[in-house]
Amino acid sequence: MSRPAVEQDDLTLRFATREDLAAIGDFLPELAGPHYAEQFPGRTAREFLDWKYFRNPAGEAIVGVAAAPGRVVGTVAAVPVRLQLGDEVVTAYNLGDFLTAAEFRNRGLFSRLVDLVCREAEARGAALAYVQPNANSYPILIRRSFREPFRFELRYFPVPSRALARKLGIPAAVTARLRLDAAALRLALPRRDRSVVVEPATAFDARIDRLWEDARRGYRVLVARDRGRLQWRFAECPTPYRILVARRGEEVAGYIVTFANRATGEAHVADLFSRADDRAAAAELLRRSFEELVRGPMRAIFAWTIAAPGPCMIGDLLRGACRLTWSPLHFALRPLGPRTNADLPAGGWYLTDGDFDTI
Ligand SMILES: CC(C)(COP(=O)(O)OP(=O)(O)OC[C@H]1O[C@@H](n2cnc3c(N)ncnc32)[C@H](O)[C@@H]1OP(=O)(O)O)[C@@H](O)C(=O)NCCC(=O)NCCS
């Protein structure tokens, strides 16, 4: 990789190497907040970043840093993914880790790092860069050629016994006796379907590639869910994800990946995948997973859905299970190379939390 260095005062804008991981690991917790370490219990931020930036089978991340003497003061990372775009599979980059140290803000550091990283992604042949930005970075990106084809909705299922216990200020063990949780789950989730067997897993085996090759035809835009990607993203990640796999006979019919944050009591659906028309598999995965998380005990389960018209069976199931909306979430992308927004498929998008770097 070329390593351009751009000097500004005593700052250098360049690409990070493994040598920078400790400094970036010291810097980034400010962005991720007090629960950052929940994503890698028993490991260091450096180990987590080494997994994220350097162990991805899709290639090394492009990590732009603004370096001051002895420390990092700005970061923009781009993690490669293989993305099905219409009939092709292209390379895309998921941007994240946007942080400029407070005393260096409003000098254009972030903007220049985004440009540096996108130029390198383009040089590596990427078709687009995408990100789930917050309210701080979103307007800056939109002024720099990013577009928002739709937003996500962050939706949630509040666990009634815990919500009530909080409200009344009494122990959750007392409200649990009312059996509200089982009733709420029955309302939120489809009936049990015994045609599918759901089991916990700690790894994805070769059968997942058959599911991917079969299921991908039902979607127009989605991150390639081949074995290499799923192993790295969910099985080898330092984050303690819970993986449940659905099968019919020996064939894998789908999987769900969740993350239960013990510090906050919030669980997140990172990924739910099946054939676009296999409602039985997706519904059974969702049901088993929610039952486990409620026993967990979590106080709420969150999921992202795309807030755009267009049929999506999994999106509909998630909306049914997580009926309350917490907040809209921005989504921004920038086509790279010769592609323009007009070349992107209008429908058939499926993107979930786990396709980004938020958990
Ligand atoms: C969001 C964040 C990364 C932006 O970083 P930044 O380095 O201050 O961003 P920039 O300086 O590039 O852009 C800020 C503004 O300064 C302007 N600016 C650009 N060059 C400039 C210069 N040379 N001098 C002064 N201002 C300049 C930019 O134009 C931009 O304004 P605009 O969007 O109206 O054009 C930073 O505010 C931050 O770390 N926030 C907290 C963490 C966070 O929310 N991260 C986002 C997570 S998704």
CA 116–ligand 1 middle distance (angstroms): 15
pLDDT at 32 over 90: no
pLDDT at 3: 47
C-alpha angle 354-290-307 in degrees, rounded to nearest 5: 50
Which residues have C-beta atoms less than 6 Å from ligand 1? 31, 98-100, 105-111, 133-134, 136-137, 139-140, 143
> What pLDDT is stored for residue 254 in this prediction?
98
Q: How do strand 71-85 and strand 300-307 relate by DSSP bridges?
A: unpaired
Banded pLDDT at 29 (limits 50, 70, 90): confident
Residue from 94, 111, 138, 152 whose mutation best tests the ligand 1 pocket (most atoms within 8 A of CB) = 111
In 117-148, which positions are buried (b, 16+ CB within 10 angstroms) versus exposed (e)? Answer: bbebbbebebbbbbbbbeeebbeebeeebbee
Contact indicator for 212, 223 with CB cutoff of 8 Å: no
Span 113-117, mean pLDDT?
98
The per-residue pLDDT for 166 is: 87
Between the CA of 1 and the centroid of ligand 1 the distance, in Å, is 26
Ligand 1, residue 105: give the atom nearest the CA.
8
Q: What is the mean pLDDT of the chain?
A: 93
Task: Write down the pTM of the prediction.
Answer: 0.94
- Residue 323 is classified by DSSP as -
Half-sphere exposure of 32 (CA within 13 A, CB side): 21
CA angle 108, 109, 110 (to 5 degrees): 95
The C-alpha atoms of residue 121 and residue 145 are separated, in whole angstroms, by: 15
| Residue among 98, 104, 327 whose CB has most ligand 1 atoms within 8 A, to mutate | 98
- Where residue 116 falls (left for φ over 0; alpha for ψ -120 to 50; beta otherwise) is alpha
Q: Which residues of 210-248 are buried (b: 16+ CB within 10 A; e: fewer)?
A: ebbeebbebbbbbbbbbbebbbbbbeebbbebbbbbbbe
Q: What is the DSSP letter of 147?
A: B
Asked if the model's pLDDT at residue 175 lies above 90, the reply is no
Structure tokens belonging to residue 99: 């942080």
From the CA of 132, give the closest atom in ligand 1.
48
Two structure tokens written together for 29? 């917790």
Query: Residue 89 pairs with which residues in a beta bridge?
Result: 84
Is 338 or 329 the better-scoring residue by pLDDT? 329
pLDDT tens track for 277-291: 999 999 999 999 999
Residue with tokens 């009494």: 170
Residue 190 has what pLDDT? 87
Q: Phi/psi at 292 (nearest 5 deg)? A: -65, -45
What is the signed CA dihedral for 97, 103, 104, 106, rounded to 10 degrees? 100
Distance CA 286, CA 279 (A): 10
- Report whether pLDDT(35) > 80: no
With tokens 């919500």, the residue in question is 163
Using left for φ > 0, alpha for ψ between -120 and 50, and beta otherwise, residue 92 falls in beta
Q: What is the mean pLDDT of residues 351-356?
A: 96
For 117-172, write each residue's pLDDT tens digit: 999 999 999 999 999 999 999 999 999 999 999 999 999 999 999 888 888 898 88
Note the pLDDT tens digit of each residue in 36-65. 888 899 999 999 999 999 999 999 999 999
